Amino acid sequence: MSRKSPPRRKNWTWRSQALRGLVYQFFAIGAVALGVWWLAGNTMHNMQVRGIQSGFDFLARPAGFDIGESLYAFDSNHPYWQAFLVGLTNTLRVAVIGIILTTVLGVLLGVGRFSRNALVRGLCYAYVEFFRNVPVLLQLLMWYVFFTEALPAAAQAWTLGPLFLSKGGLSFPIPVWETGHLWGLYGLIAGAALAFAYRRWAFRRFEATGRPRSLFWVPLGLLFAMGALGWATGGAPAHFVVPVRGEFAIEEGGSLTPEFMAVLLGLSIYTAAFVAEVVRAGIQSVARGQGEAAAAIGLSQTQSMRLVQLPQALRVIIPPLTNQYLNLTKNSSLAVAIGYPDVVSIANTALNQTGRAVECIAIVMLVYLTTSLATSIFMNWYNVRAAIKER
């Protein structure tokens, strides 16, 4: 493709295509805007006539309800906007962790479809066909029923060391914060810097000498070694709040509720089936010759996949992968069916408490719109980075 062709100059005469296009677009946008304006006005007029109060002023009033789980302390006399914030963080918690889980699982499954082992291939195939063909809401309910019906009550909780698994969820010890931990943190930061420097050095050595060095394990080791060193310097604080069996529930310690786990597992497992297909298609799109060439220069099968095929497949994978990430985030709104307090659930409660239906739905729409756009922007940036650099 020649980059030299001169840019097409637009011809702004009356009767030119460019001008006509602009005029049509202007009218089309104008008509839509008018339509929306009219409908909005109509809605508001009707609401006023019927004595339905409206406005966003309620956001500053105390919410008056409690929220079962939240990442920061929420109290019923905090204002509504903070309740929405709790809902938002709960939604993001599921979305972010879900996206990571689904990516790992999906890539493994997608790559597994090319395994030389027929059993692995078959299992990956069966997984994809099962999980992508059962409606996701059903899967969420299935997981929730599993957690609440199949697991034992708190008094008979399954235990594994300090872990407890019961109808009440998964309880685990959490470290008590001490100043010594700060040293651990410093160690981690130093480790990250070292790991980064090492990678650059190793990469340059590789380019110069062709001798490969581990770009993964060594930096990871550095990171953790420095973290551990810092922690030891800080006096190796190791106090944990350990969960204990209460009368009706496991008390103390940290815990993941069955609602959270059901949403997270349900969404990740469902979406992973789609991601697997995306990954498979991506790998298939890489010309066969690439794999053969990799073999010819002596790369092992794993190396060929990791160093030659996957990086090229990435170009094809990223755009549809973005779609799957967006789907996962949006599907998290189904969480309300199993009692997880995501932003939709909070909005539902707020809506019913205040009667401000239009406003609450607007907020929910805004939340999903912004998170989706942010995801898209990030993935587009990544896509540009991963694109083949043509020289």
Partner 1 sequence: MKFSTMRLAAAAFTGMGVLLAGPAQAGKTLDAVKARGQIVCGVSTGLAGFSQADSNGKWSGLDVDVCRALAAALFNDPEKVKYVPLSAPQRFTALQSGEVDVLPRNTTFTLTRDASLGLSATVVNYYDGQGFMVPVKTKLKSAKQLKGQTVCVQSGTTTEKNLADFSKANNLNIKPVVFDKLEAANAAYFSGRCVAYTTDASGLASIRAKEAKDPKEHLVLPDLISKEPLGPMVRRGDDEWFAIVKWVMYGMLEAEEYGVTQANVDQMKASSADPVVMRLLGGGNEDTGKLLGLDKDWMTRAIKAVGNYGESFERNVGAKSAVNLPRGLNNLWNKGGLMYAYPIR
Interface residues with partner 1 (CB under 8 A)? 35-37, 39-44, 46-47, 49-57, 64-69, 75-77, 145, 148-149, 153, 167-168, 246, 248-249, 251, 257-259, 336-339, 341, 345, 348-349, 351-355, 357-359, 361-362, 365-366
Q: At 62, list the tokens.
A: 């105390």
- CB nearer to partner 1: pick between 305 and 346: 346
CB of 40 to partner 1, least distance (A): 4
Q: Considering only CA atoms, give the Rg of the chain.
A: 27
CB of 143 to partner 1, least distance (A): 13
Q: Which residue has the tokens 């030389």?
A: 116
The H or E element that residue 382 is part of is helix 357-386
- CB nearer to partner 1: pick between 257 and 301: 257
CB of 138 to partner 1, least distance (A): 13
- CB nearer to partner 1: pick between 140 and 314: 140
CB of 152 to partner 1, least distance (A): 9
Half-sphere exposure of 249 (CA within 13 A, CB side): 12
CB of 167 to partner 1, least distance (A): 5
CB of 165 to partner 1, least distance (A): 14
Burial class of residue 100 (count of CB atoms within 10 Å of its CB; 0-12, 13-18, 19+): exposed
CB 244 within 8 A of CB 251: yes
- CB nearer to partner 1: pick between 228 and 358: 358
- CB nearer to partner 1: pick between 71 and 366: 366
Measured in whole angstroms, the distance separating CA 234 from the mean position of its chain's CA atoms is: 34
CB of 128 to partner 1, least distance (A): 29
- CB nearer to partner 1: pick between 149 and 390: 149
Residue type at 334?
A: L
CB 282 within 8 A of CB 316: yes
- CB nearer to partner 1: pick between 126 and 138: 138
Ordered DSSP codes for 246-310: -SSSEESSEEE-HHHHHHHHHHHHHHHHHHHHHHHHHHHHS-HHHHHHHHHTT--HHHIIIIIIH
- CB nearer to partner 1: pick between 36 and 293: 36
CB 182 within 8 A of CB 214: no
Residue type at 389?
A: K
Ordered DSSP codes for 66-130: --S--SS---TTSBHHHHHHHHHHHHHHHHHHHHHHHHHHHHHHHHHTT-S-HHHHHHHHHHHHH
CB of 45 to partner 1, least distance (A): 8
